[in-house]
Every structure is written in structure tokens, then in C-alpha cells.
Amino acid sequence: MNNAFPVSHQVFEDVHFQELPLSAKLLYIQLSKLSNRYADKNGWFWVSNKTLAENIKISTPSVVAAKKALKRGNFLEYLVTTFTNTKTLKATIYRLNHFLDISKYDG
């Protein structure tokens, strides 16, 4: 599977997901792509709001609102954490709740 990433059909068929604003749907797709590339074995990865906003061409406040909508719908988990090598650098880590273990994907 070259230059592709799996996204759960279950999410896109969910009536609550379908009711989300377009910005939340775009964010979910971008997070799926990043999850596929960077998630650890438990599905967690990090990315900044600024990078997300730049990648999907929406404002940073729109990213924040979209994240909250995805979290309310239980499509996304995120936590603010402090890096272990510094006490001042904080980052938001993410995990999609419909995380697909791609190591089992042979499509």
C-alpha cells in the first residue's frame, strides 16, 4: 500500500460524525494520516495546532474548536503533557479512538 493510510469506515458512517462541522472532518482525516505515520504502539502521537492549521488550511482557533468537537463525539482523545527532558516544553498528544492497528493491515 503506497502513499495511502487506513481510515475507519465506522467513523465516516457514524451519524454523529456526519453532523460535525467540515473543519472537524478535515482535522480527523489529517490526524488519521499523522497517526498512521507517527503513532506509537498505543496510538499516541503529537503535533502542534499551528502545524495542523497550516496543513488543512484553517485557522488555529478553528483547529481548537474542531478538536473539541471530535473529543465531545468520542472520536479523539488528547492530553497536554510535558516532555520528560524539560519542564517548560508542553505538547498536546493525540490518539484516535477508532485507532486501527496497521501492523495487522495487509491491504
Domain ranges of the chain: 9-104
What is the topology classification, in CATH, of domain 9-104? Arc Repressor Mutant, subunit A (1.10.10)
Output 104 or 60, whichever has higher pLDDT: 60
- What pLDDT is stored for residue 81 in this prediction? 81
pLDDT digits (tens, 9 = 90+) for 3-48: 777 777 888 889 999 999 999 999 999 999 999 899 999 999 999 9
What distance lies between CA 103 and its chain's CA centroid? 18
Amino acid identity for residue 61 in this structure: P
Residue 59 to residue 11: CA distance in whole angstroms: 24
First to last CA, the chain: 7
Q: Which of 63, 54, 77 is nearest to 21 (CA)?
A: 63
Nearest-angstrom CA–CA distance, 42 and 49? 21
> Phi and psi of 7, rounded to 5°?
-130, 135
Tens digits of per-residue pLDDT, 80-101? 887 666 666 778 899 998 754 4
Pick the more confident residue, 66 or 103. Answer: 66
